[in-house]
A and B are shown apart, each in its own frame.
Chain A
Amino acid sequence: MALAFDDYGRPYIILKEQESKNRLRGLDAQKANISAGKSVARILRTSLGPKGMDKMLQSPDGDVIISNDGATILEQMDVDNQIAKLMVELSRSQDYEIGDGTTGVVVLAGSLLEQAERLLERGIHPIRIAEGYEMASRIAVENLERIANKFEFGETILEPLIQTCMTTLSSKIVNRCKRSLAEIAVKAVLAVADLERKDVNLDLIKVEGKVGGKLEDTELIYGIVVDKDMSHPQMPKQIEDAKIAILTCPFEPPKPKTKHKVDIDTVEKFQTLRKQEQKYFDDMVQQCKDVGATLVICQWGFDDEANHLLMHRNLPAVRWVGGVELELIAIATGGRIVPRFQELTPEKLGKAGIVREKAFGTTKDRMLYIEHCANSRAVTIFIRGGNKMIIEETKRSIHDALCVARNLIRNNSIVYGGGSAEISCSIAVEAAADRYPGVEQYAIRAFGDALESIPMALAENSGLQPIETLSAVKSQQIKDNNPHFGIDCNDVGTNDMREQNVFETLIGKQQQILLATQVVKMILKIDDVISPSEY
Chain B
Amino acid sequence: MAIDRIFKDEASEEKGERARMSSFVGAMAIADLVKTTLGPKGMDKILQSTGRGREVTVTNDGATILKSLHIDNPAAKVLVDISKVQDDEVGDGTTSVVVLAGELLREAEKLVAAKIHPMTIIAGFRMAVECARNALLEKVVDNKGDTEKFRSDLMNIARTTLSSKILSQDKEHFAKLAVDAVMRLKGSTNLESIQIIKKPGGSLIDSFLDEGFILDKKIGIGQPKRIEKAKILVANTAMDTDKVKIYGARVRVDSMAKVAEIEGAEKDKMREKVEKIIGHGINCFVNRQLIYNFPEELFADAGVLAIEHADFDGIERLALVTGGEIASTFDNPESVKLGHCDLIEEIMIGEDKLIKFSGVAMGQACTIVLRGASHHVLDEAERSLHDALCVLSQTVNDSRVLLGGGWPEMVMAKEVDALARKTPGKKSLAMEAFSRALLAIPTIIADNAGLDSAELISQLRAEHQTEGCTAGIDVISGSVGDMAERGICEAFKVKNAVLLSATEAAEMILRVDEIITCAPRRREDRM
Q: Is B319 an interface residue (CB 8 A)?
A: yes
Given that A213-B89, A261-B248, A362-B390 are known contacts, is A386 also in contact with B520, CB under 8 Å in the complex? no
Q: Report A62 CB to chain B, min CB distance, Å.
A: 7
A387–B82 touching, CB < 8 Å: yes
Q: Is B370 an interface residue (CB 8 A)?
A: no
With a cutoff of 8 Å between Cβ atoms, the chain B residues found around residue A448 in the complex are none
Distance, CA A64 to CA B81, complexed state (A): 10
Q: Is A32 an interface residue (CB 8 A)?
A: yes
With a cutoff of 8 Å between Cβ atoms, the chain B residues found around residue A79 in the complex are 6-8
Main secondary structure of the interface of B (DSSP, over half): mixed
Question: Which chain A residues (263-317) contact chain B, with CB distance < 8 Å?
Answer: 263-267, 270-271, 273-274, 276-278, 280-281, 303-305, 307-309, 311-312
Given that A262-B250, A273-B244 are known contacts, is A51 also in contact with B514, CB under 8 Å in the complex? no
Given that A32-B2, A61-B521, A361-B88 are known contacts, is A80 also in contact with B516, CB under 8 Å in the complex? no
With a cutoff of 8 Å between Cβ atoms, the chain B residues found around residue A395 in the complex are none
Q: Report A14 CB to chain B, min CB distance, Å.
A: 23
Contact with A53, one of B5, B81, B250, B511 (Cβ below 8 angstroms):
B511
Q: Report B106 CB to chain A, min CB distance, Å.
A: 19
B126–A176 touching, CB < 8 Å: yes
Contact with B7, one of A59, A80, A387 (Cβ below 8 angstroms):
A80
Q: Is A156 an interface residue (CB 8 A)?
A: no
A277–B519 touching, CB < 8 Å: no
A363–B521 touching, CB < 8 Å: no
Q: Which of A36-44, A193-201, A342-350, A435-443 contacts B (4 or more CB under 8 A)?
A: A36-44
Q: Report A334 CB to chain B, min CB distance, Å.
A: 32
Distance, CA A43 to CA B117, complexed state (A): 18
Distance, CA A256 to CA B190, complexed state (A): 42
What's the interface size class on A, roughly?
35 or more
Contact with A363, one of B4, B88, B319, B335 (Cβ below 8 angstroms):
B88
Contact with A270, one of B3, B126, B262 (Cβ below 8 angstroms):
B262
Question: Which chain A residues (26-63) contact chain B, with CB distance < 8 Å?
Answer: 28, 31-32, 35-36, 39-40, 43, 46, 51, 53-62
Chain B residue at minimal CB-CB distance from A264 = B251
Question: Could you give, for residues 224-250 of chain B, a 1 whenever the CB lies within 8 Å of some chain A CB and a 0 otherwise?
Answer: 000000000000110000001111111
Q: Which residue, of B8, B117, B328, B331, has the highest number of chain A Cβ atoms within 10 A? A: B328
A271–B518 touching, CB < 8 Å: no
Given that A234-B325, A262-B250 are known contacts, is A55 also in contact with B89, CB under 8 Å in the complex? no
Question: Could you give, for residues 1-31 of chain B, a 1 whenever the CB lies within 8 Å of some chain A CB and a 0 otherwise?
Answer: 1111111110101000001000100000000
With a cutoff of 8 Å between Cβ atoms, the chain A residues found around residue B120 in the complex are 463
Q: Is B254 an interface residue (CB 8 A)?
A: yes
A277–B245 touching, CB < 8 Å: yes
A386–B85 touching, CB < 8 Å: yes
B192–A364 touching, CB < 8 Å: yes
A277–B508 touching, CB < 8 Å: no
A60–B520 touching, CB < 8 Å: yes
Q: Is A481 an interface residue (CB 8 A)?
A: no
A304–B261 touching, CB < 8 Å: no
Question: Could you give, for residues 204-239 of chain A, a 1 whenever the CB lies within 8 Å of some chain B CB and a 0 otherwise?
Answer: 000000011111000000000000000011100000
B244–A77 touching, CB < 8 Å: no
Chain B residue at minimal CB-CB distance from A87 = B6
A359–B189 touching, CB < 8 Å: yes
B508–A173 touching, CB < 8 Å: yes
Q: Is A255 an interface residue (CB 8 A)?
A: yes
Q: Which of B401-409, B458-466, B497-505 contacts A (4 or more CB under 8 A)?
A: B497-505
Q: How many residues of B contact A (CB 8 A)?
A: 87
B74–A60 touching, CB < 8 Å: no
A57–B516 touching, CB < 8 Å: yes
With a cutoff of 8 Å between Cβ atoms, the chain A residues found around residue B117 in the complex are 51, 463
B191–A212 touching, CB < 8 Å: no
Contact with B250, one of A60, A261, A390 (Cβ below 8 angstroms):
A261
Distance, CA A307 to CA B329, complexed state (A): 9
Contact with A233, one of B250, B326, B500 (Cβ below 8 angstroms):
B326
Q: Is A131 an interface residue (CB 8 A)?
A: no
Given that A80-B8, A263-B250, A386-B500 are known contacts, is A233 also in contact with B237, CB under 8 Å in the complex? no
B236–A263 touching, CB < 8 Å: no
Chain A residue at minimal CB-CB distance from B71 = A62
Q: Which of B205-213, B263-271, B372-380, B476-484 contacts A (4 or more CB under 8 A)?
A: B263-271
B8–A305 touching, CB < 8 Å: no
Q: Is B153 an interface residue (CB 8 A)?
A: no
Q: Is A81 an interface residue (CB 8 A)?
A: yes
Q: Is A253 an interface residue (CB 8 A)?
A: yes
A55–B512 touching, CB < 8 Å: yes
Q: Report B316 CB to chain A, min CB distance, Å.
A: 5
Distance, CA A311 to CA B11, complexed state (A): 54
Task: Known A-B contacts: A60-B521, A390-B508. Give 18 more (CB < 8 A).
Answer: A39-B3, A51-B119, A77-B516, A79-B8, A80-B7, A84-B6, A173-B508, A176-B126, A211-B85, A213-B89, A253-B246, A256-B248, A270-B265, A309-B328, A312-B325, A362-B88, A385-B504, A387-B81
A-B contact pairs, 7 of them (CB 8 A): A35-B2, A64-B74, A64-B78, A232-B326, A267-B261, A270-B244, A364-B192
Question: Shortest 6 CB-CB distances between A and B: which pairs?
Answer: A308-B328, A53-B513, A386-B501, A60-B521, A386-B504, A212-B89
